Structures are given as C-alpha cells and as structure tokens.
Structure 1
Amino acid sequence: MTSAAATGGWWQRARAAMRDEGARTDHFAPDGLDAHARTLQAAMPLLFAGLIAFAVQIYMDGDTGWHLGAGKWIIANAAVPTADPFSHTMPGKAWTAHEWLAEVLMVGADRLAGWGGLAALFALSAATTFWLLAREAFRHLPARWAVAAVGTTAGLLFPFALARPHMLAWTLLAAWTVILLRAREQRRAPPLAAALLMVVWANLHASYIFGFGLAGLFALESLIENPRNRALLGRWFAFGLAALAAAALVTPFGPSDFLYPFQVSGMEALSVIGEWRRSTIPADNLFYLCLAGLAVLVARKWRTVPPLRLLLLVGLSAMAILHARHQMLFAIVGVLVVLPLLSHGREPRGHLVRVPWFWPAVALLVAVRLAVPYHFQEHSSYPLTLLAKVPEEIRRQPVYNEYSQGGPLVMLGIRPYIDGRADMYGDDFTFRSRAINRGDIVKFREDVARYGIRWAVVEYDDGLKPRLEREPGWRKFAEDKHAAIFVRTN
C-alpha cells in the first residue's frame, strides 16, 4: 500500500468514526434504577456538595490563607497587585495575581460567615460541577452506569477538594467541555455567548488555557469531518476569536497572562511541591484503576473512537501521570468525553431529566452551612492558637517559616519568609527553603543574617526544629503538637 493510500484510508476512517460517534440508533435498555433516575441525578451532586460543606479536608492546604490575604488586599486597594505586597524576603518583586477574582469571592464568603461561609462557597461550586456531570451521565447512560461514572469522578476529585481557586474553576471546566461536546454532537459551532465564560475563567484560574486547547481540538475535529462547510468553520473561528478576546482584553494583565501557565509548568521547584508530584501507587490507586479501565475501553472500541478524542484521552492520561494535580482534568474532561463511548451506541436522551427541587435543596444546604458554626481543625500548616500567643512586637519582626505556613501568616497580616507562591519566589529560593526545613542550619544562619530574621515558626516534625533547640542565640517560645515557635535571644 502506498503512503498516500494509507493516509487517505486513515482520513476516511477518521471522518467515518466522527460521523458514527453521533449516529446512535438503539435505545436505552431497561434498568431497575432508571425509575429513580430523577432522584439519583440530584442526590449525587447534593451528596458531594454536602461532603465539601462539612469536611475538614478543604482547609488542609496553607495556600487558602494567602489567597484570603490577596483578596483582602485587592478589596482594600481597589486594584490587582502586580508586585509582592506580602513577604519580607521579596518585597516589590513582580507577581502575577492571576486568580484575583477567585480571591475576591473567597474573601466575600469569609466576611459573610467566616470558615463556614468559605465552605459554603466551595460546596455551591461542587454542587454546580456535579450537577453538570450528572446531567450528562444520566443523559448518555442507564442509571446504574451513570451512578458509577459520577461516583468514580467524585472519588478522583475529592482528594483535590481544597478551598482554593482551582475548585471554583471545576464548574467552568465542566460547563465549557459540555458546551463543546454538545456542539460537536449537534454538528454546529458553540454559541458565541458561550465565549463569555472566558471573561470569568481567565480571571479565576490559569486552567482557562486548557479550555482554549479543548476548543481548538474540537474545531479541528469539525474541520476533518466537514472540510467543505465554510459557514460552520467560520462560526468555529468566530467563537475562538471571541473567547480569545474575552480572555485577553478583560483581564488586568492582558495577553501576557497567556504565558503564565507555561512559565510555571517549566519550574524545577515543582518537583518538591506536593500537588505537582507524579501519580504513584498506592497513593493514587483509584486513578490508576480508572486508567486501566480506560485502556480496556479504548482497546475494545478503538475503531469507533474519533482519533482526536483518543489523542485527548492519551494526553489527559499522560498529564495526570506526570503531575497528580492534573487528575482533576482527567476526571472532569475525561468522563465527559468517555460517556458516549460507554453508551454502547445508544442515542443520548433528547431531553434532560428535570429535577425542580435540586436548586432549592442546594440553597438549603448552603443556608445550613452558613447557620451552623464551623469548628476549624488546626494542623501543622495552621497552628493558629500557637501564633496567637506571639506578642505584637515580635509579629512585626522578620520571621522564618515553612512553605505551607506562609499562607496563614499572610492571612494574619504577618510578612512571611516564603509562602505558596513558588512562581514568584523562584526555583533557587524554594529549594533553599526546603533545605532549611530539613535542617540545613548553615543556610538558616545565612538567611538570619541576610533578612534580619528575629523569630521562626516550624512544623513539629521539621528537621530544623531539633537544630534550633540546640542553636546558640535561640530559645523556644512556645510549642504544641503541630508546630514550635523560636525567638532570638541576642
């Protein structure tokens, strides 16, 4: 077979696969749970939202603190910072506060009802995200399989359910993906109005860049399927241009913000930041189980999987293996792309199962969360009781702190040595901080001299703690089971 013939054959198969992807003829097989589809479609998002509303897990990350600090600064100054206003080690250094809108929303929720208000905000986001996912799952699948798909997605996402901007972006990612898939299913371009999602997304979280990649992929898929339909291609082009304009022109940083995600992803220091680690067994067993299931599904249906969607699934899998945080993309986008493959050729339900009591139930959940006092559970990143013991004259002095403790310090108005903004501190400083945490007393002494450090807060299990207990010129001021505070005596 000649190369041209082989290429032509692949092209024809690709176009046929994309035509077949939407041409489903038979109907849903009877399912004992289908009689309860309406209840299940609403109950699953409510269950996940309830877990978020009352779980202590969402505050297990110190970054929540500096996001709150940034939001307070933005509201107080009626501006988005372009330089570091917080640390005593990098004052004035250029900083892209690309999540400013999420930070303002977080502060608004915090001022409404403290930690409980913040939990209510993220519970609302979770309910909306899983409403979108459940709606698509029950549209494509019999109830028992829809429950399995949504439940598995919840299991993948729950470890990443933290009170940070990325969780608010879940809703936009799900909505954007559904809009693109619906457009392809109906052989049309997305509505221009949908491009306005980028106005919010680009100011909320850097994952909006992935949204552009998705739109480009589905536009290319449409081109392969309909190479002569200029009107359709023109509408896809107009949609993409409108989305680009929304992201570039309605953000504080303009087009330069497009480069930010790529600059961060190239940092060497990501290797020592937990969420950027590789996905491993046994830490990520559910992810690898889903990956194995996806491989089996693709192996069985590879002839009918549109090539670009197969490429997307492979890309999502590779991203999630390399960096655990991308399991979120794998879960949300992956399940929406896989749903038609799981339907075994059944035509999607043309109507949506409407659950009129769902949003009132969500409102009730939010109201309960706001009304019930939230009992914050302290841990090593948030030793708030211990920090409250530090006199004001010491709090105003330069401090040494561990990476994850910087956020709470910012939240309390204390200028940190380092916090979760590794993109601003850079590779060298982040690695240096990690070495000190592990007990490099020489580097610690150098930074004490360089930055005039007068006190230190260290996690109870840090290697630096026993070194400071023996270090001349330092004494232990206070400690508990989470952390210890040391002050200089000379």
Structure 2
Amino acid sequence: MMQGESRRAEILLLAIFGIVLPFILGSSLLIFNDGDVRWHIAAGQWILDHGALPVADPFSFTFPGAKWVTFEWMSQLLYGAAYRLAGFGGVAALASAAIVALHLIVVAQGRRHVGPWGIAATVVLMDLALIPMMLARPHLLAWPLLAGWIAILLRARDADTAPPLAAALLVVPWANLHGSWALGIVIAGFVALDHCLERRWHWPVVRAWLLFGILATAGAMITPNGLDGFVHPLTVSKLETLPLIVEWRPSDPARTPFFFVALAATILILLWRGFRIRPLIAFLLLVLLAMALHQMRHQAMLAIAAAMIVPRSLIRESLRPPLFAGSERRLAIGGTAFAIAALALFRAANPLEPAENGANPRSAIAAIPADLRDKPMLNGYGFGGPMIFQGMKVFIDGRSDFYGDAFMIAYQRMVDGDRAALGDAITRYDLGWSILPPRYDKLIANLDRDPRWIRIHSDPVAIIHRRIDIPSASGSPRAIP
C-alpha cells in the first residue's frame, strides 16, 4: 500500500514540475517583455504571406533591399503562424509547449539518477536561471532540442557507444530554428573525445563518433541559407558592438541575481552530496560557465546542460528503475501528449494581451499621427520590433547582425548625446519624427533643444518628436504642454 502511495506521489510531483509549472511559466505575460518578439512574429507573417524567405530586408528604411540572412526562419514561421491562428494566446501556447517539452526531457533524464525531490530541485534551479530568458523568441524553441541532444549523447555514452546516426539529423531542424546548434556540435565533441580517450582511441569507437559528427555538421548546412546560414553564428560572435546589447554583456548579479543564486546552490549541493564526473565533462561545464559569465545570454545554455549532467554526477549506488514499463509506459506517453495538447489549446483559446512597457509601447504607437507613419523616423532600439509589427519601416531593430558594427556605433553615438551624429542621421535619412524611450535622455534632450523639432507625445514608456517643417494633416504641428 505504502509503495503504491509513494509511486502515486512521485507521479504527481513529476507532473507538477514537468508539465504544470512550465505551462504556467510559458503562459506568463513576461514572455512578451522583449521588443524582438514582435519582429520575429512579423517575419513569420511575411513568410506566410509571400511563401518564401525574405532575402532582402523588408523592414528597415536605412538598409532597403540589403541582404538579410534569415537563419531563424523556422522559428519565425512558427511564431507567425501561431499568432495568425490565435493572436498572442497562440504565441504563448507555442512557447508553453516548448517549455513543457524542455522540462519533460530534464525530468525524464534526471529521474534515472535522483528521486522526485532531486528532480524538483533540479527544475527549480534551472528555472531560476532560465526565467529572465523565457521570451517568445527563437532560442526558446531550441531549448528542448538542446536538452534532447544532450540526453541522446549521455545515453549513448552510458551504453558505451556513439549515438545512432539518425540522431544526428536532429541538427537539421535545430539549424533552421536557432544558431545554438553550433554549441550542440561542441558539446558532442566533448562527449566524443571523452569516450575515445576512455576506450584508448579504439578505431570502431572513433569511427562511429566521426561519422556522427560529420553527419551532424552536414545537417547544419541543410537550410535555405546554405553556407551563409552555416557560418552565421561565427559572424555574429565576431561583431565588435555586441556589448551594446544587454544580453551580450557579462553576467551581472544586479541584473540576473537568481542565476548566481542557482549557481551557488548547485555548487553547495555538489559539495554536500559528493559527486563523480569525468574530467572532460567537468571541463565542458566549466567552458559553459565561462561563456555564461562572459555573456549573460549563455546562462540558459549552462542551466540546461547542468540540469542534464549534474543529477547523474551525484554519488549513487545504481540507476533508479523505470517508473513505467510496457503498456503502462505507452499509456503514460499518450496521456502526457494529450495533456500538453489540451493545455496548449486552452492557452490558445483564451485571448492574451501583453502589458504596456518598453517592449510594447501601445499608447505611444496609438498616438503617432497618421501622416507620420510612412515617413522615416528615429526609433529606440527596443521599439524596432513593435514598429515593424505595426507595419512601419524602422531606423533600427534587434537585428544587430544585419545592421553591422559601423551603423550600431553611429547609433550609439546618438544615444550618448553626440549632436553631430544626430545631425548626420537627420540629413542622411531625412528623418521626420522620432519615438524613443525615456532612458535615451541625452538624445531626447538634443531633440528638445533643437528648434526644428517639437515634442508631441510623452508617457512613461515613450516620447515622440516631429520636425516642424513637416506639415501635419491638421495644419502646423503643436508641441505638447
């Protein structure tokens, strides 16, 4: 009796941390708190409307017709389709499904090595690091692929073999969803090297891993972008202006404190419980830690990899027996799939409206005069996505890789208050209006001081100026009081 009750309690706990918690996280309005969310949706809708990928930029007036490598096109297509079907509720349903899939993989992998409370701790620590990055952007859809990839590698390692060649094909959708596939290849390289060293470079083992690695790398080239898409992660990593973007800056306890809480807690658990980990796998985690400390966007990669690797590294006597077997296992898989589908449909069927904030300057956009909407404007970096979503051509948006270092540097000079840079941009692009966040105080002050510009809207999220020599539909424009 007690054994049956214990099993039911374990199933309930795993359902909570594998399905219910991630569904709640994916349904939160926080997943929309990034301006890039909307231009990704807009890109997906563009693909749906044209039945092709945009090879020339359709969104900016600063680089009209310039080459654009849409390396995340599949994610954008999915987000665009989800929005078209059910609005932001559909986007949340898609994001929730991806987050649930990630958690189920982590739970399934971890349960082989630790009990239900160990699983709960693993999920909570992972989520502490992931929540700031839980945004409806392409990387979110790639998270379950990263976890699944690591699970495949580790289970092959446990079986003293290379993964099946068919598993290498997982890289194909991954490379079309997000650029993190490159990290997956690196992780596979570490696991392969560890296995080859243990087997003293036994040729059948080396050959199996070589074939797997070659096939996986080749799979990354099966995209509409070909070689351009394959090298794009390297192209992005070489940009000198990445530190201008918050997520590419070094990790900071003031900005992501819970990442450091999760990191400290994980280290304490390892010291308390004791652990065994092969040197190369430990080195892999240290490399991921260095990447996460160097650029906060890599915190998610470390959190997922650690959630997959650390539970198996705790000192234990043996693997835990499966929770389900035979027909019961098939029933559990079917029931889980049904639950995920039902929750996703429930989420999609209920309308969702993102909160008004810097990622969604709703009131300011509504206040833009109709006669300005088709004229060149100077926008805040984070406002590019919402403006594109509303069908307006932008000065800049979140595609820093598309705009390049020189343009990003010139833009930052304007933000920092360089009046000459502002004057050059106004002249070169014939800027007629601006929509900027209040934190761009130096740039806003320059516009306020310029007699050729007047402020026509101001709220806590955005400030709008227009040039006085551009006539409005109602006559001469007036400054707000």
TM-score by length of 2: 0.90
- Aligned-partner Cα distance in 2 for 1:213–1:442: 45
> Which of 78, 88, 100 is the aligned partner of 1:115?
88
- Aligned-partner Cα distance in 2 for 1:256–1:450: 30
Q: Give the aligned partner of residue 280 of structure 1.
A: 252
1:289 equivalent in alignment to 2:261: yes
> Which of 310, 313, 322 is the aligned partner of 1:351?
322
- Aligned-partner Cα distance in 2 for 1:217–1:346: 26
Q: CA RMSD in A?
A: 2.3
Q: Give the aligned partner of residue 222 of structure 1.
A: 195
Judging changes above 3 Å, is the alpha-carbon distance between structure 1 residues 392 and 192 closer, same or farther for their aligned structure 2 residues?
Answer: same
- State the Cα distance separating 1:246 from its structure 2 match: 1.7
- Aligned-partner Cα distance in 1 for 2:403–2:422: 17
- Aligned-partner Cα distance in 1 for 2:399–2:424: 22
- Aligned-partner Cα distance in 2 for 1:294–1:372: 38
Output the amino acid matched with 2:338. Answer: P
Q: For 2:176, what is the secondary structure of its paired residue?
A: coil
Q: Give the aligned partner of residue 419 of structure 2.
A: 441
Q: For 2:252, what is the secondary structure of its paired residue?
A: coil
Matched-pair contact (CA < 8 Å) for 1:401–1:417? yes
> Which of 305, 308, 329 is the aligned partner of 1:336?
308
- Aligned-partner Cα distance in 2 for 1:49–1:286: 17
1:389 equivalent in alignment to 2:367: yes
Q: Give the aligned partner of residue 462 of structure 1.
A: 440
> Which of 96, 105, 111 is the aligned partner of 2:78?
105
Output the amino acid matched with 2:148. Answer: A
Mean alpha-carbon deviation: is it higher for 41-50 or for 293-302?
Answer: 293-302
Matched-pair contact (CA < 8 Å) for 1:48–1:154? no
> Which of 90, 99, 121 is the aligned partner of 1:126?
99
- Aligned-partner Cα distance in 1 for 2:359–2:261: 31
Output the amino acid matched with 1:255. Answer: L
Mean alpha-carbon deviation: is it higher for 98-107 or for 293-302?
Answer: 293-302
1:314 equivalent in alignment to 2:293: no
- Larger relative CO (CA 8 A, sep 6+): 1 or 2? 1
| Unaligned ranges ≥5, structure 2 | 470-481
Q: Give the aligned partner of residue 20 of structure 1.
A: none
Q: Give the aligned partner of residue 479 of structure 1.
A: 458
Q: Give the aligned partner of residue 361 of structure 1.
A: 339
- Aligned-partner Cα distance in 2 for 1:67–1:75: 12
TM-score by length of 1: 0.88
> Which of 255, 259, 265 is the aligned partner of 2:231?
259
Q: Give the aligned partner of residue 410 of structure 1.
A: 388
Question: CA-to-partner distance for each residue in 1:31-72, whole Å, 9 max, x for gaps?
Answer: x97652211112113233332343111111001121122212
Q: Percent identity?
A: 36
> Which of 61, 86, 102 is the aligned partner of 1:88?
61
Mean alpha-carbon deviation: is it higher for 465-474 or for 410-419?
Answer: 465-474
Matched-pair contact (CA < 8 Å) for 1:140–1:346? no
- Aligned-partner Cα distance in 2 for 1:289–1:478: 41
Judging changes above 3 Å, is the alpha-carbon distance between structure 1 residues 303 and 366 closer, same or farther for their aligned structure 2 residues?
Answer: closer
Matched-pair contact (CA < 8 Å) for 2:455–2:466? yes
Matches within 5 A, 1:60-99: 60-99=33-72
Q: For 2:391, what is the secondary structure of its paired residue?
A: coil
Q: For 1:203, what is the secondary structure of its paired residue?
A: helix
Judging changes above 3 Å, is the alpha-carbon distance between structure 1 residues 480 and 296 closer, same or farther for their aligned structure 2 residues?
Answer: closer
1:213 equivalent in alignment to 2:192: no
Output the amino acid matched with 1:269. Answer: T
1:323 equivalent in alignment to 2:295: yes
Q: Give the aligned partner of residue 59 of structure 1.
A: 32
Aligned pair count reads 459
> Which of 252, 266, 269 is the aligned partner of 2:241?
269
Output the amino acid matched with 1:264. Answer: V
Output the amino acid matched with 1:313. Answer: L
- State the Cα distance separating 1:196 from its structure 2 match: 1.6
Q: Give the aligned partner of residue 193 of structure 1.
A: 166
- Aligned-partner Cα distance in 1 for 2:87–2:420: 41
Judging changes above 3 Å, is the alpha-carbon distance between structure 1 residues 72 and 461 closer, same or farther for their aligned structure 2 residues?
Answer: same
- State the Cα distance separating 1:398 from its structure 2 match: 0.5
1:157 equivalent in alignment to 2:133: no
- Aligned-partner Cα distance in 2 for 1:321–1:414: 37
- Aligned-partner Cα distance in 2 for 1:298–1:459: 44
Matched-pair contact (CA < 8 Å) for 2:275–2:313? no
- Aligned-partner Cα distance in 2 for 1:447–1:107: 32
- Aligned-partner Cα distance in 1 for 2:132–2:230: 28
- Aligned-partner Cα distance in 2 for 1:63–1:303: 40
Output the amino acid matched with 2:139. Answer: H
Output the amino acid matched with 1:268. Answer: E
- Aligned-partner Cα distance in 2 for 1:338–1:176: 16
1:428 equivalent in alignment to 2:406: yes
- State the Cα distance separating 1:361 from its structure 2 match: 2.3
Q: Give the aligned partner of residue 151 of structure 2.
A: 178
Output the amino acid matched with 1:471. Answer: D
Judging changes above 3 Å, is the alpha-carbon distance between structure 1 residues 215 and 378 closer, same or farther for their aligned structure 2 residues?
Answer: same
- State the Cα distance separating 1:417 from its structure 2 match: 0.5
| Unaligned ranges ≥5, structure 1 | 1-29
Output the amino acid matched with 2:379. Answer: N
Q: Give the aligned partner of residue 13 of structure 1.
A: none
Mean alpha-carbon deviation: is it higher for 71-80 or for 201-210?
Answer: 71-80
- State the Cα distance separating 1:488 from its structure 2 match: 1.0
Matched-pair contact (CA < 8 Å) for 1:184–1:218? yes
- State the Cα distance separating 1:175 from its structure 2 match: 0.5
- Aligned-partner Cα distance in 2 for 1:369–1:304: 42
- Aligned-partner Cα distance in 2 for 1:370–1:96: 30
Matched-pair contact (CA < 8 Å) for 2:69–2:228? no
Judging changes above 3 Å, is the alpha-carbon distance between structure 1 residues 133 and 467 closer, same or farther for their aligned structure 2 residues?
Answer: same
- State the Cα distance separating 1:120 from its structure 2 match: 0.6
- Aligned-partner Cα distance in 1 for 2:26–2:266: 31
Matched-pair contact (CA < 8 Å) for 2:129–2:262? no
Judging changes above 3 Å, is the alpha-carbon distance between structure 1 residues 36 and 462 closer, same or farther for their aligned structure 2 residues?
Answer: same
Q: Give the aligned partner of residue 10 of structure 2.
A: 37
